[in-house]
Amino acid sequence: MVVVDKDGEIVLLNLQAERQFGYRRDELVGQPVTNIIPVGFAERLIADDLRSAAEALAQQIGTGIELSGRRKDGSEFPIEIMLSPLESAEGILVIAAIRNISVRKEAEDQLLQAQKLESIGRLAGGIAHDFNNMLFVINGHAEMLDEDLAPERRATLDLDETLRNVRAIREAADRAATLTAQLLAFSRQQVISPTVLDLNAAIDGIEPMVRSVIGENMRLVIKRGDDVGHIRADAGQLDQVLVNLVVNARDAMPDGGTVTIESGTAMVDGKHATEHFEAKPGAYVLLVVSDTGVGMDRATRDRIFEPFFTTKRPGKGTGLGLASAYGIVHQAGGHIWVYSEPGLGSTFKLYFPRVEPSGMTERPAASPVPTLGTGTVLVVEDEPGVRDMTTQMLSRSGYHVIAVADGDDAIAQLARLDEPVDVLVTDVIMAHMSGIELAGLVMDRYPDVGVVMLSGYTAQTLNLERVTTRGAMFVPKPVTSGNLVVAVQQARARRQAQRYRDEPRAIALDGS
């Protein structure tokens, strides 16, 4: 027990406090409470002059505040404090009951580690299950193609059957790419292109798709707040989150009901941020999706963001929708709050940091289908299969392609080539020399060469701006041949435009 006055000085403590903190009583009485509670937390022990004792008591009583205590030797340990304001002749005193919770925190850490391992095991099992199904389809159809294209069977080749096999392989590969994107979104490692978006405009844009998925026996209500403001997020990911939430709402209302999408604003203060550790104080734009469905119990709510956790029947859901939504919102700097009770429906509140609009907020238009390309492209990729596929895509589109395995070979090729290279296409993550380093060297030495960088994740690509600000293009894997050709054409044009802007202008004699 420690008693603190309005100035933050210790006026009384018991024997157990002496033992816990390693001080004698006379060493603490009259000293600032910051001697035993680190600066920044001690203010919680002092009654605010603007509050009455009753108000302070109502706010803090019964709520254990977890802080760090500091012993005389400087070591720190976790504590829980219960506060009780007390009026005295000298003014308001605050009685703090301090409990050492080291044993409890150690047990909680062990439990958290066990839960992490369980989640990793479930994640690995879910990935293996889904990918094995997709690989079964791909391998099966590839085996049929191999048999049908054998020399002894080519005379009886059924072209329609061959085309079906090829399309089945492509569809399975597309599903695998979607699964990978969901996993990356959950882990906040997905390659994104954040832009400043008007949330109300984004809702308007996705409304037709949302109406098409909820079904005829359900009602969709959209409530747009006034002057909601802008957020910084990836437009495609925002659509993905909204569709996932609406689909979950639909599935929670088998007998029909109402799905409501709302936009608004919210101010998160310090108290709210303390109670919700994921939140930071500030201004937020709010996206709310609620339903009148079956709702969830506490056990289900605690697990809804776990990857591959689903309450739906087999084949009706992967368990990645909410997990990826969680990752997407956090990657945008926001957080999610969920309220649900059995029989009372569910409400998901998504908080996105509010940003000031700057420049264009419209979504980029879809790239047109490219015409055949011309020129020479240098492909740098350390994975043989990916290097061969990238080469084939560009060669079929009309480019002359030179393919090498690493950055050193690329620099050597550029130095010895008689013909100029128009565009460099490089993987970002490579041994010895990264794609970013290679791109920087090429831009410095060969200012006319356009640059396209390819990667499937962003964990090691945080310095992309070093080269994208100079005209380089970034394209996430997997990439289609059409998107790759468009990127090559745009990189060449952007690099030339960037070089033109950077060149000093000659001044004509007439002053123009």
Decide if 287 is inside a domain. Answer: yes
Would you say residue 133 has pLDDT above 90? no
If pLDDT is split at 50, 70 and 90, which confidence band does 29 have? very high
- Token look-up 């049929």 returns 144
H or E segment and range at residue 121 = helix 102-148
Average pLDDT over residues 488-504: 72
- C-beta pairs of 471-477 under 8 Å, 24+ apart in sequence: 471/443, 471/495, 471/497, 471/498, 471/499, 472/439, 472/443, 474/191, 476/190, 476/191
Q: Are residues 201 and 349 in the same domain?
A: yes
Sign, Cα dihedral of 288, 289, 294, 298: negative
Domain boundary among 186, 213, 233: 186
pLDDT at position 127, please? 66
- Neighbour-count burial of 121, counting CB atoms closer than 10 A to its CB (0-12 exposed, 13-18 middle, 19+ buried): exposed
Decide if 308 is inside a domain. Answer: yes
Average pLDDT over residues 136-160: 85
Would you say residue 337 has pLDDT above 80? yes
Rounded Cα gap, residues 512 and 510, in angstroms? 6
262 contact partners, CB below 8 Å, separation of at least 6: 222, 223, 224, 225, 286, 287, 288, 289, 290
| CATH number assigned to the domain comprising residue 214 | 3.30.565.10
Domain boundary among 47, 72, 100: 100
Average pLDDT over residues 65-91: 83
Average pLDDT over residues 473-502: 79
Q: Which residue has the higher pLDDT, 374 or 191?
A: 374
Q: Which residue has the higher pLDDT, 370 or 417?
A: 417
Q: How far is CA 320 from CA 64, 240, 261, 393, 415, in A?
A: 35, 12, 21, 32, 48
Give how far the C-alpha of residue 340 lies from the chain's centroid of Cα atoms, to the nearest Å. 24
Decide if 392 is inside a domain. Answer: yes
Q: Are residues 82 and 158 in the same domain?
A: no
Would you say residue 452 has pLDDT above 80? yes
| CATH number assigned to the domain comprising residue 13 | 3.30.450.20
For residue 148, the enclosing domain spans 118-186
Q: Which residue has the higher pLDDT, 116 or 139?
A: 139
Q: Are residues 178 and 212 in the same domain?
A: no
* Count of structural domains, the chain: 4
Average pLDDT over residues 144-154: 86
- Beta-carbon neighbour count of residue 193 at 10 Å? 12
Lowest-pLDDT range of 75-79, 208-212, 498-502 = 498-502
Select from 205, 275, 263 the least CA-distant residue to 236.
205
Rounded Cα gap, residues 322 and 246, in angstroms? 11
The token pair at 392 is 């084939």
| CATH number assigned to the domain comprising residue 472 | 3.40.50.2300
Q: Are residues 336 and 237 in the same domain?
A: yes
Q: Are residues 153 and 296 in the same domain?
A: no
Decide if 361 is inside a domain. Answer: no
Amino acid of residue 245: L
The token pair at 404 is 């090498």
Decide if 487 is inside a domain. Answer: yes
If pLDDT is split at 50, 70 and 90, which confidence band does 450 have? very high
pLDDT digits (tens, 9 = 90+) for 325-335: 887 788 788 88
Buried b (16+ CB within 10 A) or exposed e, 367-395: eeebeebebbbbbbbbeeeebebbbebbe
Average pLDDT over residues 392-405: 91
Percent pLDDT > 90 in the chain is: 18
Rounded Cα gap, residues 445 and 411, in angstroms? 10
143 and 111 in contact (C-beta within 8 Å)? no
Lowest-pLDDT range of 318-332, 334-348, 382-396 = 318-332
Q: Are residues 342 and 216 in the same domain?
A: yes
- Beta-carbon neighbour count of residue 442 at 10 Å? 25
Decide if 363 is inside a domain. Answer: no
Q: Are residues 202 and 182 in the same domain?
A: no
Q: Are residues 290 and 224 in the same domain?
A: yes
Q: Is 218 helix (H, G, I), strand (E, B) or coil?
A: strand
Q: Are residues 64 and 124 in the same domain?
A: no
Domain boundary among 100, 130, 150: 100
If pLDDT is split at 50, 70 and 90, which confidence band does 307 have? low
Decide if 108 is inside a domain. Answer: no
Decide if 111 is inside a domain. Answer: no
Rounded Cα gap, residues 346 and 293, in angstroms? 7
Average pLDDT over residues 386-404: 90
Would you say residue 473 has pLDDT above 60? yes
Q: Are residues 38 and 55 in the same domain?
A: yes
Average pLDDT over residues 396-403: 91
Give how far the C-alpha of residue 415 lies from the chain's centroid of Cα atoms, to the nearest Å. 40
Q: Are residues 236 and 94 in the same domain?
A: no
What is the full DSSP assignment across 160-212? Answer: HHHHHHHHHHHHHHHHHHHHHHHHHHHTT------EEEEHHHHHHHHHHHHHH
Q: How far is CA 326 from CA 293, 333, 450, 456, in A?
A: 21, 11, 36, 20
Q: Which residue has the higher pLDDT, 439 or 57?
A: 439
Q: Are residues 199 and 182 in the same domain?
A: no
